[in-house]
Structure 1
Amino acid sequence: MIAFLGLGYMGAPMARRLVNAGHTVTVWNRTPKDLPGATVAATPAEAVTGADLVVTMLADPDAVESVVRAALPGLRPGTVVVEMSTIGPDAVARIRRSLPPGTGLVDAPVLGSVAPAREGNLVVLAGGSPEDLARCRAVLAVFGTVREVGRTGAGAALKLALMSALVPAQVMLAENLAYAERMGVDRAAFLDVLAGTPLGALVQRLRPAIEEEPSETRYALGLAAKDLRLATAGVGAEQTVAAAARDLLDEAADAGLGSEDLTAVIRWAAGRRSGPRSGKIAERINPATVPATNGWYSHAVRFGDLLFVSGQVALDAGGQIVGRDDIARQSEYIFENLGRILANQGSSFGDVIHIKTFVTDMDRLADYGNVRARYVTGEPPSSTTVEVSRLFHPDVLLEVEVIAAIA
């Protein structure tokens, strides 16, 4: 039996492949999710009870270590834990020390995104003892091509080294495209010529984002930033190019792009590096990452070096309320959308100079304030908060608008 812990962007299609291959699978996810053909466990310990292999596919080292600790009561001697997240060799070593005697460990992070995960075309970078690798080799092959790269921790180290090359290359191309356009270079000519160089494969992968076509999240920008933070720690501190890419991705993630695909860095670089615009033309802004308006207003208007963002409310793309009678959830949804609008113009909450909030019940203001404080940090901007008897929708509890400076 296989226990699979973590059903995120990558975990869900990988667990599904195990089920489709005929394995008996028990799954656990922090937010409960069903997976047809698999048993759903309430806790990590319940999921791993009786398992021969335990696969973890989670966001970061803290998440993996926390889940492994929670699973320990259910582990039995002879079980092999297969850690497939990107967490680095130091975290792998800590997990190795936390496992009970007789438990094996293989670190097997993957190269590839959501589509290869669905299709079984990932590259699995596996490190571990020959005995542990032999026990999980057939299962890992369900996910794609397996590269056995050495001792425990070798897979995690190789993954960080590879990401130190692959992610900065995408960030470099995003900034280079913005630079070429500022120089007046024709975009189509630039891309066509670049496609014939060794960077051609990267250009083709990024073309949909460059041409502003909608894209599913294959590799979240926030996870890419996390990977580079791991890669530039310790012995990686001398990687100056990777560190610069890390900082730019951290900016973009802080501005609300963390859950979007890494290709969103193209839009971020274009906005962030565009410089001051003429104050004589008002530009209407309606990012594709925010639910469309009803046509009576724009999400924002840019005028010179100022961005005026319309009042945002917690209605989704279908016009349905998000967080009915829950002002904290509505606040979170509003600030996520504000972040996306700001990021579209190369701005962030650190550039906000004024916030205006309309709330239907001042008694709930503390819940709103707690959410706002997570997004608006440091020295606060000017602010106005007004209690109103009602807003345009009966279930809308608040509306928030901002004005931001564009550097």
Structure 2
Amino acid sequence: MIAFLGQGRMGVPMARRLVEAGHKVTTWRRGSGVTAAEAVDGAELVITMLSDPAAVREVLTAALPGLRPGATVVEMSTIGPEAVRELRALLPETVALVDAPVLGSVGPAADGTLVVLAGGELSGCREVLSVFGTVRETGPLGSGAAMKIAVMSAIVPAQVLVAETLAYGAAHGVERDTLIDVLAGTPVGQVAERLRTPPAETRYALGLAAKDLELAAWEGASMATAARRRLQDARAAGLGDRDVTAVAEFVGDRADDRAGEAVARRAVPLNLSTIPATNGAYSHAVRVGDMLYVSGQAAFDDQGDVVGPGSLRTQAEHIFAVTTRILADQGATWQDVAFIRTYLTGMDDILELRDVRDQYVTGTPPASTTVEVSKLFKPGLVMEMDLIVALPRGSAG
């Protein structure tokens, strides 16, 4: 049996390919009413296709009680080699791990024409991976993840470069289709053709492209850094769920640096689709320039019910996991947190909060305040936490 964790744009067609190939597949997504541990129970192969490293870590941590000895976890998200090493340390030694991110978007996922970049020992999953397309064995564990980030470090900046080229042409009276025709005969021709008629549906989300370049950050990567800043600004302007080709629209609307600076200064509400929705009266976070203000986070599931009523440890684990995803969406980590404020309905179990916090907040701690309150806004809640974050240089444009 195969457990497929993640039913987003890529996960749905990939799981369908497995079913059509005759495999018995159990699928899981957030809000399904089934826990990750229940979904993987008895599975010989567990495939993850999720949004970012924080989501993969959270879901696999939740799945640990259900993982059977001898199972193989195939991590197919784009999370980078460092995150793969962390997963190897997280999983029991009796569970094998393969990293196998893919090249290709929704169409190839449905057609079975993806390129699978697989690192690690594939003997237990090579045949299954071939259902998705061509399997390229890249070497030891982590090499597939590294290969994917290396490739995206070229592809995504090229997309931004062509978008800026089109904006320059428009500013100087160059006809758009004629410019694309000329570019078609150059090494960036394929990228330019994608911008001639941008897809109506999202194939590769702009927000995910920004995340991929955040994972690719390294000293000296000047082109990738500049492209990342463009994409982060576009994401903050509300284009994160659009196809990455929408960056051309964004760049075209901001033809000079002063307009881009105005975008960076204004307050931009941020609401992530990967965490429970707000009630409409507030946003998950608001970014202003290089500062991020995270609203008070409480432990709610996708149905709006309290997670672990009365349990400080359970609610702390949930809140820190959700907050990690908010930080990751803006290219930040817990090292960038300047201030934490925590509200507790009782101090008796504060050491449990410290145990959870120490898993995330390492090194020099941020400024913090912990306050005891008589009650929080919904029965069963015992903790709420808000943050102020100094975003890394370059992440806020």
Cα separation, partners in 2 of 1:226 and 1:275, compared to 1, 3 Å: closer
Cα separation, partners in 2 of 1:367 and 1:42, compared to 1, 3 Å: closer
Please state whether the residue corresponding to 1:13 is helix, strand or coil: helix
Q: What is the aligned partner in structure 2 of residue 254 from structure 1?
A: 236
Question: Which of structures 1 and 2 has the larger relative contact order (alpha carbons within 8 angstroms, sep 6+)?
Answer: 2
Note if contact 1:273-1:346 (Cα within 8 Å) is conserved in structure 2. no
Deviation at 1:91, TM superposition (A): 0.4
* Mapped contact 2:42–2:67 kept (Cα < 8 A): yes
For the residue of structure 2 that corresponds to 1:30, the secondary structure is coil
* 1:266 correspondence with 2:178: no
CA distance in 1: counterparts of 2:253 and 2:186, whole angstroms? 26
1:66 to 44, 47, 58: 58
- In the other structure, the counterpart of 2:151 is 162
Distance 1:245-1:349 versus aligned 2 partners, 3 A rule: closer
The number of aligned residues is 283
* CA RMSD of superposed structures (Å): 2.5
What residue number does 2:294 align with?
Answer: none
Is residue 2:359 matched to residue 1:374? no
Provide the residue aligned with 1:205 in structure 2.
194
Deviation at 1:151, TM superposition (A): 0.2
CA distance in 2, matches of 1:229, 1:379: 16
Whichever residue aligns with residue 251 of structure 2, its letter is A
1:227 matches 2:212: yes
CA-to-aligned-CA distance 1:208-249 (integer Å, 9 cap, x gap) = 12xxxx5210000000000000001xxx22211000000110
Secondary structure, in 3 states, of the residue corresponding to 1:268? Answer: helix
Q: In structure 1, how many angstroms separate the alpha carbons of the residues matched to 2:241 and 2:208?
A: 8
The alignment partner of 1:134 has SS state of coil
Partner of 1:193: 182
Retained in 1: the 8 A contact 2:46–2:74? yes
Alpha-carbon distance in 1 for matches of 2:282, 2:12: 32
Moved more, 147-156 or 236-245: 236-245
Q: Cα deviation per residue 1:119-148 (whole Å; 9 max; x = unaligned)?
A: 10100000002xxx0110010000000000
Alpha-carbon contact 1:45-1:72 (below 8 Å) kept: yes
* Cα distance in 2, alignment partners of residues 194 and 241 from structure 1: 20
Shift of 1:374: 2.7
Q: Whole-Å Cα distance in 2 between the matches of residues 134 and 122 of structure 1?
A: 20
Gap change, CA 1:274 and 1:238, over 3 Å in 2? closer
**Conserved? CA contact 2:114–2:132, under 8 Å:** yes
Q: In structure 2, what is the equivalent of residue 16 of structure 1?
A: 16
For residues 149 and 188 of structure 1, do their structure 2 counterparts lie closer, same or farther at Cα, with a shift above 3 Å needed? same
Q: Distance in 2 between matches of 1:220 and 1:270?
A: 19
Partner Cα separation in structure 2 for residue 85 and residue 103 of structure 1: 18
Amino acid at match of 2:282: N
- Establish whether residue 76 from structure 1 lines up as the match of residue 58 from structure 2: no
Look up the SS of the partner of 1:273 in the other structure. Answer: coil
The aligned amino acid for 2:192 is V
**Residue number among 86, 92, 117 corresponding to 1:125 in the alignment:** 117
Q: Give 1:186 shift.
A: 2.1
Q: How far off its partner does 1:184 sit?
A: 1.6
Give the TM-score taking structure 1 as reference length: 0.66
Equivalents in 1 of 2:266, 2:70: separation in Å? 54
Instruction: Report how far residue 203 of structure 1 moved.
Output: 1.9
Q: Give the C-alpha shift of residue 351 in structure 1.
A: 3.6
Secondary structure, in 3 states, of the residue corresponding to 2:219?
Answer: helix
Q: Give, as a single letter, the amino acid of the residue that structure 1 aligns with 2:148.
A: K
Name the SS of the counterpart of 2:8 in structure 1: coil
Q: Percent identity between the aligned chains?
A: 57
Cα deviation per residue 1:316-372 (whole Å; 9 max; x = unaligned)?
Answer: xxxxxxxxxxxxxxxxxxxxxxxxxxxxx997484479xxxxxxxxxxxx965532x
* Cα shift at 1:175: 0.5
Map Cα deviations across residues 145-175 of structure 1 (whole Å, 9 max, x no partner). 0000100000000000000000000000001
Query: Which runs of structure 2 are paired with 1:163-182 in the superposition (5 Å)?
Result: 163-182=152-171
| Other structure's SS at 2:162 match | helix
Give 2:127's aligned amino acid.
A
Secondary structure of the equivalent of 1:192?
helix
The residue type paired with residue 203 of structure 1 is A
Structure number with larger C-alpha Rg? 1
Unaligned runs of 5+ in 1: 33-40, 277-304, 306-344, 354-365, 381-407
CA contact (8 A) 1:110 1:123 kept: yes
Q: Distance in 1 between matches of 2:129 and 2:151?
A: 20
Question: Match of 2:117, as an amino acid?
Answer: L
Q: CA deviation at 1:192?
A: 1.0
Q: Which residue of 1 aligns with 2:332?
A: none
1:115 and 2:107 aligned: yes
Tell which deviates more after alignment, 184-193 or 102-111: 184-193
The answer to whether structure 1 residue 240 and structure 2 residue 225 are counterparts is no
Distance of 2:228 and 2:12 partners within structure 1: 27
Task: Answer yes or no: is the 8 Å Cα contact 2:267–2:286 preserved in 1.
Answer: no
Task: Give unmatched runs, 5+ long, in structure 2.
Answer: 269-277, 292-397
How far apart, in 1, do the equivalents of 2:124 and 2:285 lie?
45
Whether contact under 8 Å (1:80, 1:103) holds in the other structure is yes
* Cα separation, 2, equivalents of 1:96 and 1:352: 39
Residue in 2 that maps onto 1:308:
none
Could you say which residue in structure 1 is the equivalent of 2:393? Answer: none
The answer for the alignment partner of 1:54 in structure 2 is 46
**One-letter code aligned to 1:185:** V
In 2, Cα distance between the equivalents of 1:147 and 1:256? 35
Distance 1:346 1:194, change over 3 A: farther
User: SS of 1:54's equivalent?
Assistant: strand
Q: By how many angstroms is 1:275 displaced?
A: 7.5
User: In the alignment, residue 285 of structure 2 is paired with which amino acid?
Assistant: R
2-structure distance, mates of 1:379, 1:111: 32
In 2, distance between residues paired with 1:112 and 1:122? 5
